[in-house]
A and B are shown apart, each in its own frame.
Chain A
Amino acid sequence: MDPKILIAKRVALELKDGNLVNLGIGIPTLVADYIPKDVKVFFQSENGIIGMGPVPEHGMEHPDLTNAGATYVSALPGSSCFDSAVSFGIIRGGHLDVTVLGGLQVDEKGHLANWMVPGKLIPGMGGAMDLVTGAKRVIVAMIHSAKGESKIVQTCTLPLTSVRRVDLIVTDMAVIEPTEDGLLLKEIAPELSVEDVIKSTQAHLNVSKDLKIMKIE
C-alpha cells in the first residue's frame, strides 16, 4: 500500500461521529477519502467554511469556493461561510475537535515543527500555530523519515509551531502517542518489527505493553 494512503486510512479511524475537523495540506487532505461509512464529520477550512464536500466535477467549480490550499471544493447542504476572525475564533477558541497536520519534525516532548527550514524553505506558519494551540486534539500525519533521516527526534532543531504537546503521531511505520513520560509506541505497521521502528527513529521510544499492529480498514 502507498505509505501516504496507509497513514490517511489510519488517521481516518481517529475521527468520531459529529467531529469538527480541519485537515492540513498534503497527506492530511487524503484522510477525507477514508472516513468510515458510519462516521459523519464536518470539515472546516481556515479560509472560512464549515461543511466542505469533495472536489466538484470538472465544470462545476465555483471560483469563490475553495479550501485553504486553493483547491476547488463543494459546499454540502447545511454548510456555512464566515470571515477569518470567526474562522480563527473557531480554531483558537477550542471549538475545533481535531486538526490533522503534516510535520517536518516531532520531538520527545511532543513538540511539532512544521513551518520553516531556515534559509531554505520559508512557507510561513499560515494557520498552523493557531491550529496546534487551539484544537482539542492535534494529530500529526507524516512519513516517518525524510532522505533517510528520522523526523521523530530527541529535540526539534527546526523552529517550533507550538509548545503544546501534540496528541498523536501517525506515520507509515508506527502510531506514537506523546505522553508526559515521552513517546509511547502504540502500533507498528504490518510486516514491520519493533526493532525496525526503533532503528528508524532518532527519538527514544517507550514500547506499549499493549503494542498492536496498525489497524486499517
Chain B
Amino acid sequence: MRVIQIDKAVEMVKNGSIIMIGGFLGVGTPEALIDELIKEGKRELTVIANDTAFPQSGIGKLIAKKLVKKLVVSHIGTNPETQRQMIAKEVDVDLVPQGTLIEQIRAAGVGLGGILTPTGIGTVVEDGKKIIEVNGKNYLLETPLSADFALIKARKADCNGNLVYSLTARNFNPIMAMAAKIVIAEVDEILPVGMIPPDEVHTPGIFIDYVVKGR
C-alpha cells in the first residue's frame, strides 16, 4: 500500500476502464476521485455502483459530463439525467437488484464462481440466466462482477491501508475493496500505523493498493 497524490492515482485509470465506485446516493462516495476523473477527462467508462446519485453529486457528475458508456447499478430513480440518457440510448444501463449486485461483487472478491439467489425468479431479471434447484427451491445463478479499479471512500486509513468507515457511508465500499485489480481509497484522515486498534479495522489493509487524501 502506498499513499500517493490524487492525480497520480487517477492517472492509472484508462479511457474505457471498468471501475467500481462506492457510495449510496452519494453518501460514502469518493467525491475527490470523481472530480479528478472529470478533470483528467477519463471517458467511455464502465461504472459499477449502487446508483448514480443526483445530477450534481457523486456519480451523477460523471453522468452529467457524459463520461460513462455503461452502467451496472440497482437504482437510477434519483437522477433524471441518467434515465434520459438511458431512454435516448446514450448510456447502456444494466439494472440489477441491490442484494444481487453486492453479492456478485463479493463473489468476485472472495473467489466464488457465482451466487445462487431467489431474488428475481419469475421476473425479467431471470431472462437468459441459469436456474438451479437446491433442496426443492429455485435460485438464479448470478456470476461474479470484477473491475479494473475500485474507487472507495473511508473515514480514515493507517499507513498499512487499514480502513475505518463512517456510519451509513460504509455501504458498498468494503465489498468493492475486495473485487478490483487496483483499489484506491480516498480518506479524510491518514494515521500512523498502530493508531487504529485491530478490532476497529473494517477493511484490512491488504486489500488496498493506494490511499489518497480527500478534502
Which residue numbers of A lie inside 8 Å of B, CB to CB? Answer: 45-49, 62-66, 68-70, 75, 81-85, 87-88, 91-92, 119, 121-130, 133-134, 159-163
Which residue numbers of B lie inside 8 Å of A, CB to CB? Answer: 24-28, 50-51, 54, 73-78, 83, 86-87, 93, 95, 97-100, 102-103, 106, 117-125, 155, 166-175, 202
Q: B167 contacts A81, CB within 8 Å?
A: yes
Q: Which of B28, B100, B171, B202 has the most CB of A within 10 A?
A: B171
**Beyond A47-B168, A70-B54, A129-B120, 18 additional pairs, beta carbon < 8 A:** A45-B168, A64-B28, A64-B166, A70-B26, A83-B102, A83-B172, A83-B173, A84-B171, A92-B99, A122-B95, A125-B75, A126-B77, A127-B74, A129-B97, A129-B99, A129-B119, A162-B121, A163-B123
List residues of chain A with CB within 8 A of the CB of B98: 46, 84, 88, 125-127, 130
List residues of chain A with CB within 8 A of the CB of B119: 92, 129-130, 133-134, 162
Q: Which of A68, A75, A83 has the most CB of B within 10 A?
A: A83
Given A48-B170, A123-B75, A126-B77: A68 and B122 within 8 A (CB)?
no
Given A124-B75, A126-B77, A163-B123: A84 and B97 within 8 A (CB)?
no
- Give Cα distance in the complex from A85 to B106, angstroms: 8
- Give Cα distance in the complex from A163 to B54, angstroms: 31
Q: B122 contacts A82, CB within 8 Å?
A: no
List residues of chain A with CB within 8 A of the CB of B83: 121-123
- Give Cα distance in the complex from A122 to B95, angstroms: 9
- Give Cα distance in the complex from A49 to B78, angstroms: 21
List residues of chain A with CB within 8 A of the CB of B168: 45, 47-49, 64-66, 81
Q: B175 contacts A85, CB within 8 Å?
A: yes
List residues of chain B with CB within 8 A of the CB of A119: 87
- Give Cα distance in the complex from A48 to B27, angstroms: 11
Say what secondary structure dominates the interface of chain A.
loop
Q: B78 contacts A70, CB within 8 Å?
A: yes
CB distance from A32 to the nearest CB of B (A): 17
Q: B74 contacts A124, CB within 8 Å?
A: yes
- Give Cα distance in the complex from A15 to B121, angstroms: 28
Other-chain contact of B77, A81, A124, A162 (Cβ < 8 Å): A124
CB distance from A9 to the nearest CB of B (A): 26
Given A48-B171, A84-B50: A70 and B124 within 8 A (CB)?
no
- Give Cα distance in the complex from A159 to B26, angstroms: 28
- Give Cα distance in the complex from A46 to B119, angstroms: 15
Pick 7 A–B contacts, CB within 8 A, sort by A.
A66-B27, A70-B24, A81-B170, A85-B175, A92-B117, A122-B95, A124-B76
- Give Cα distance in the complex from A91 to B100, angstroms: 12
Q: B118 contacts A122, CB within 8 Å?
A: no
List residues of chain B with CB within 8 A of the CB of A49: 167-168
Given A84-B171, A122-B76: A127 and B27 within 8 A (CB)?
no
